[in-house]
Amino acid sequence: MCLLPFRKLILFAYTLIFLVPGYSQRWIPDNDFNHIITFNNVLKKTVAELSIIKPVRKNNNEYFTNKQYDEIERLYFRYTLCTRSLLDIVNAYKDFSNRSKYNKNNVQAFILGYCATLTIYKYSAELILYTADNQLLIDKLNEEYPRTDIKKDGLDYILSNLTNPGYLNNIDIANEFYHRQLKENKELYKTIEFSSIIDDLIKMTTELSNTYENHKKTILDNYTILPLEAADIMQVTTIEETVNGMIDAAGGQLKAIQEFLFTNMADIRMPLIEGIKFSRRQKKQVKRELKPGDIILTFSSGYLSNIFLPGYFKHVFTYTGIQNKKKNKYLSEIRLKPDQESLISSEHDIIEANSDGVVATTLDSYLNGYANRIIAFRPKLSDSDIRAIMNNLHSFLGMDYDFDFDLTNGEKLACSEVIYRSYNGIGNINLDLEEIFGTTTLSGDKLLEYFMNDNSTQLIFLAIDNDRKPGKAKILRDKEATTYLIENVPETISANN
């Protein structure tokens, strides 16, 4: 096989990963493969926990208790977050190979997107199969859950996609492309061009591909009587002929993948993130204004940063300032474990909890289009208070993310829990927890409400989309920022503001 056309598809993707600001912080194959593994593990646990919830039987009646009802909603919400996050990865890579001239990036982009797609399919199928004998649970999963933005007939919608001939046809075509790539580029994967994830990625994707075939047969056997034309679509010979025709028409296998890749692969559509971007002047201005200990709330249209409770602001983190003890007096007393030292780089200036766990990273990713709105607060804190908070924050580095959002269990931490455990009781900060889905937790909007109504807290800035220049940041302060919040989230602002 001639690899020249394949290689011609790649320099731009390398540039996209390492040079373009919006993508340099986000779409890195090693990180996204770790995301897929994380979501795979969480979905496995979630579907298993959902499937064992059985209704109570009393006086010949069956029903779920209030506690069970909350548990069903909590688990279903977690399932939805994880599948949407996987879809975020699929959407990121579906156009990736269009822009790439590097062989390794094109191959990895294709396999990463396909791996994420198969993970969505696997747990969508298992949600259907493992709840099949529990009609009351099926009914509950088809209910609408307004507070978590889960629409009515959700489970039926998942099943309709799993049995849709067009959807299955697309996965089968991708599967054919995948196995051809493995066969035709077998030696290529052994070169240093590929990152360290490639062997594990291929192993996981191949296992998921086999699982897909098994689940597809079970789903179709139990839930459909396929029309003859639909059955014909999914015949192996027909798939092979379709792929051959696509390659001939496109002038090459990777070009065919480029034109086809994941156009109809997922059960929930959403655009790639289109957040607000700060100008160079705005970035300098914001960074001059921020001080270690400032609390920042964000909302992003993508899901990888929104693995949290619903709300106007879904994510929260702390600005630490640069990780330089000589230049940042608030870090002088920080003592890290050896494994935590490896998580810190000198350019890092925030600490947050996301699906990777508690990590240090840079504010720039949020200023380069990773968020749709950002608000920054400064609680009234002394220098010694800030030092104590910095010690607390850094002590959590490396801990796993809490997909249950349960603040009664400190073994894993959600983003707001890092804030709660780092700040609460310091200075005059007194954060109240709340009950959501029967779980003791703390939402972004609860934090917004607290800091907006705390007279000693300063609102530093609110950044929103600029109506006159869509996609660009517009920075609001003081009364202008408060007025905007009163108009958009009035329930969080007291009458005194």
Cα angle 205, 208, 210; round to 5: 115
pLDDT at 236: 52
Give 354's pLDDT tier (boundaries 50, 70, 90).
confident
CATH of domain 280-492: 3.90.1720.10
Phi, psi of 63 (to 5 degrees): -160, 160
- With a cut of 80, say whether residue 445 has pLDDT above it: yes
The residues, ordered by sequence, that sit 6+ positions from 396 with a Cβ below 8 Å of its Cβ are: 351, 353, 358, 413, 418, 421, 422
- With a cut of 50, say whether residue 228 has pLDDT above it: no
pLDDT at 114: 87
For 379-416, b/e burial (b = at least 16 CB within 10 A) is bebeeebbbbbbebbbbbbbbebbbbbbbeeeebbbbb
CA-based nearest residue to 54, from 127, 137, 125: 137
Give 325's pLDDT tier (boundaries 50, 70, 90).
confident
- List the chain domain ranges: 4-260, 280-492
CA dist., res. 316 & res. 71, Å (int): 25
CA dist., res. 361 & res. 138, Å (int): 41
CA dist., res. 407 & res. 409, Å (int): 5
Higher pLDDT, 189 or 392: 392
Report the SS3 class of residue 378.
strand
CA dist., res. 369 & res. 196, Å (int): 29
CA dist., res. 318 & res. 290, Å (int): 10
Most confident of 9-13, 188-192, 316-320, 354-358: 316-320
CA dist., res. 331 & res. 312, Å (int): 32
Give 20's pLDDT tier (boundaries 50, 70, 90).
very low
Count of CB atoms within 10 A of residue 437's CB? 22
CA dist., res. 448 & res. 492, Å (int): 7
Report the SS3 class of residue 441.
strand
- With a cut of 80, say whether residue 262 has pLDDT above it: no
Bridge partners of 376, per DSSP, are: 296, 461
Decide: residue 328, CB within 10 A, 0-12 exposed, 13-18 middle, 19+ buried: middle
Higher pLDDT, 292 or 103: 292
pLDDT at 18: 29
pLDDT tens digit string along 362-374?
Answer: 999 899 888 889 9
pLDDT at 87: 83
- With a cut of 60, say whether residue 348 has pLDDT above it: yes
* % of the chain at pLDDT higher than 90: 44
Bridge partners of 413, per DSSP, are: 401
Mean pLDDT of the chain: 81
- With a cut of 70, say whether residue 307 has pLDDT above it: no
Give 226's pLDDT tier (boundaries 50, 70, 90).
low
> Mean of the pLDDT values across residues 71-84?
89
- With a cut of 90, say whether residue 142 has pLDDT above it: yes
pLDDT at 23: 36
Phi, psi of 56 (to 5 degrees): -80, 140
- With a cut of 70, say whether residue 254 has pLDDT above it: no
Which alpha helices (H) appear in 142-197, and where do they start and end? 154-162, 165-184
The four Cα atoms 414, 415, 421, 426 give a dihedral, to 10 degrees, of -170
pLDDT at 272: 41
Of 74-88, 190-204, 257-271, 316-330, least confident by mean pLDDT is 257-271
Q: What is the pTM of this model?
A: 0.73
- With a cut of 70, say whether residue 7 has pLDDT above it: no
CA dist., res. 293 & res. 148, Å (int): 30
Query: Which strands make up the sheet holding 373-378, listed edge to edge?
Result: 357-361, 350-354, 315-319, 295-299, 373-378, 458-465, 473-476
pLDDT at 14: 30
- With a cut of 70, say whether residue 11 has pLDDT above it: no
The residues, ordered by sequence, that sit 6+ positions from 77 with a Cβ below 8 Å of its Cβ are: 145, 148, 150, 437
Count of CB atoms within 10 A of residue 341's CB? 9
Give the chain's end-to-end CA distance (angstroms, integer): 69
CA dist., res. 307 & res. 463, Å (int): 21
- With a cut of 90, say whether residue 260 has pLDDT above it: no
pLDDT tens digit string along 449-468?
Answer: 999 999 999 999 999 999 89
- With a cut of 90, say whether residue 285 has pLDDT above it: yes
CA dist., res. 422 & res. 415, Å (int): 11
